[in-house]
Amino acid sequence: MSADKVFHPRSEGIPSEGVKDQYADGKAARAWNKFIGDSNQRTQNYKDFLIGLLKKHGCKIDSMMLVDEGFGLVSIDASDKMLKHALKARWEKRRNPKYDEWEANWETLPRDINSFLPGTQFDAVICLGNSFAHLLDEYGDQRVQKMCLENFAKCLKPGGLLEFRLCYYPHKLDTFTKMLDEAFGNRAAHSIYADFQPLSQVPVPGFYIHVMQKK
């Protein structure tokens, strides 16, 4: 099958064979860029919230936004087409060496990172949008999802932050909160925000942002 029909990870990680890449035609990437792109106020809200949080915790929405603010980035996506739209924006800044690291696979993340950045751990791991919901529950017990969360935790330095947006799933809030806590061995500080505000201040949020601080 062609690369436009299935996911092919760029690393030696586990491929999701036989799963159609629903973003291969580029329509979703173009729509995302139009409605959620840098010209939209929503991105400014992300920028203010995320960068403020990172700087508050002494850490050194999207990849381009953070790189432009002076952060070093490794950006990943299951769909090559979605990454290519980021790479197109990066190409316009091709003379800037800060835009060089982009690829990895969630299911083998620590190994993949170590292959090109040996011994590296990160100040922050950030997962926005609906990326997590695209992971397949191949075995019916969420083992893949749990493994990926544990991999995120392994990539963090002590004191590092995981910032995770869970979109539009209030019925999954308690379950996902427990999964995150367990991924960090029930030892991480865990804060939950609703629409960029403390959870208690928003009765019917559109989305949640979980912030974990690794011990």
- Per-residue model confidence as pLDDT tens digits over 193-203: 998 999 999 99
DSSP helix/strand/coil, 210:
strand
For range 64-86, the mean pLDDT: 62
Query: How much is the pLDDT for 72?
Result: 74
- Report the range of poorest mean pLDDT among 11-15, 94-98, 171-175: 11-15
pLDDT: which is higher, 61 or 97: 97
pLDDT class of 100 with cuts at 50, 70, 90:
low
pLDDT for the residue numbered 33 = 65
The type of residue at 115 is S
Q: Measuring CA to CA, which residue among 119, 203, 133, 204 is closest to residue 164?
A: 133
Q: What is the pLDDT of residue 10?
A: 44
* Alpha carbon distance 25, 70 (integer Å): 32
The CA R_g of the chain, rounded to the nearest whole Å, is 17
Model pTM?
0.70
Is 4's pLDDT higher than 70?
Answer: no
69: left (phi over 0), alpha (psi -120 to 50) or beta: alpha
Residue showing tokens 């999964």: 179
The pair of structure tokens assigned to 68 is: 């432009």
Averaged over 104-110, what is the pLDDT? 86
Q: Are 28 and 104 contacting, i.e. CB atoms less than 8 angstroms apart?
A: no
* Residues 138-154: tens digit of each pLDDT: 899 999 999 999 999 99
Q: Give domain 27-213's CATH superfamily.
A: Vaccinia Virus protein VP39 (3.40.50.150)
Q: Residue 83: pLDDT above 70? A: no
Q: Is 138 helix (H, G, I), strand (E, B) or coil?
A: coil
CB–CB of 170/131 below 8 Å?
Answer: no
